[in-house]
């Protein structure tokens, strides 16, 4: 299968929502940068067919969007700036010692999350703004860069209680997805639905943030660790 065929197969049936963009794994990265892409670095504009990898700069266009003599070196033409992932309105690293964070620390302790895990998972708390009153749980890559985040309200005034950052494609990301390749103290990897279940099993667990999608399942099939699926009861 050619790189172009691989891209076409990954985006088949996708629309891209309001932005028109979808993100898939780049088939060219293994050759161009020497590493597989698991971060969905290749952005495809489903309105005009042009794609660009934000990691290795592989560019091209899907078939069926006009026969204009393009090839893989053609530009990323007529494409709007790709929308980014929403940032939390506020973030104070936990556990911290400030009295303003005490309620957040107590909430997490009540859910079985130790202060060591709070620090390792880089949990935070929003004191102000749109996301005030929420625990901030970042989704991190191997370099600790944020791929997105989810928020959990800790009191009844926060609605909805669970919040997913806008612009984050939760169908393809795992919470604590570094554990897919980084072996912790235990050999097996536990797959849960919710991030708090993964935190209780830290560092040997990932969360799908809901029921696993086909993209999640595909990623798990190439995980080098033994995988145990422990989803919520129906």
CB 50, CB 66: distance < 8 Å = no
Domain-embedded: residue 74: no
DSSP assignment of 19-70, as one string? TTEEEE--SSHHHHTSS---S--EEEETTT-EEEETTT--EEE-TTS--S--
Domain-embedded: residue 143: yes
CB 231, CB 211: distance < 8 Å = yes
DSSP assignment of 75-119, as one string? --TT-PPPP-PPPPS--EESS-S-GGGHHHHHHHHHTT--HHHHH
Which tens digits make up the pLDDT trace of 181-208?
876 666 789 999 999 999 999 999 999 9
Q: Which domain holds residue 96?
A: 92-164
Assess whether the previous peptide bond of 110 is cis (omega < 30° from 0): no
**Domain identity same for 17 and 43:** yes
- pLDDT for the residue numbered 78: 42
Position 36 pLDDT exceeds 90: no
Summarize the confidence of residues 208-226 as an average pLDDT.
89
Count the domains in the chain.
Answer: 3
Label residue 81 by pLDDT band (50, 70, 90).
very low
**Domain identity same for 96 and 158:** yes
How far apart (Å, rounded) are the C-alpha atoms in residues 192 and 184? 17
**Domain identity same for 148 and 208:** no
Residue 54 vs residue 109, higher pLDDT: 109
């Amino acid at each position: 299968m050619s790189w172009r065929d691989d891209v076409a197969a990954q985006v088949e049936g996708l629309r891209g929502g309001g932005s028109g963009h979808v993100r898939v794994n780049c088939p060219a990265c293994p050759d161009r940068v020497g590493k597989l892409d698991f971060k969905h670095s290749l952005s495809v504009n489903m309105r005009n067919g042009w794609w660009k990898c934000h990691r290795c700069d592989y560019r091209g266009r899907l078939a069926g969007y006009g026969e204009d003599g393009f090839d893989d070196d053609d530009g990323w033409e007529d494409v709007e700036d790709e929308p980014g992932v929403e940032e939390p309105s506020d973030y104070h690293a936990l556990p911290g010692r400030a009295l303003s964070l005490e309620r957040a620390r107590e909430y997490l302790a009540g859910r079985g999350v130790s202060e060591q895990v709070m620090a390792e998972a880089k949990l935070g708390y929003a004191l102000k703004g749109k996301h005030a009153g929420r625990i901030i749980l970042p989704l991190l890559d191997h370099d600790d860069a944020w791929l997105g985040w989810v928020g959990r309200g800790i009191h009844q005034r926060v609605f909805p209680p669970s919040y997913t950052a806008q612009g984050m494609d939760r169908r393809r990301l795992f919470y604590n997805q570094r554990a897919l390749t980084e072996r912790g103290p235990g050999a097996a990897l536990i797959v849960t639905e919710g991030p708090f279940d993964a935190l209780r099993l830290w560092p040997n667990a990932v969360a799908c943030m809901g029921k696993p999608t086909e993209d999640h399942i595909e990623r798990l099939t190439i995980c080098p660790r033994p995988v145990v699926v422990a989803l919520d009861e129906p």
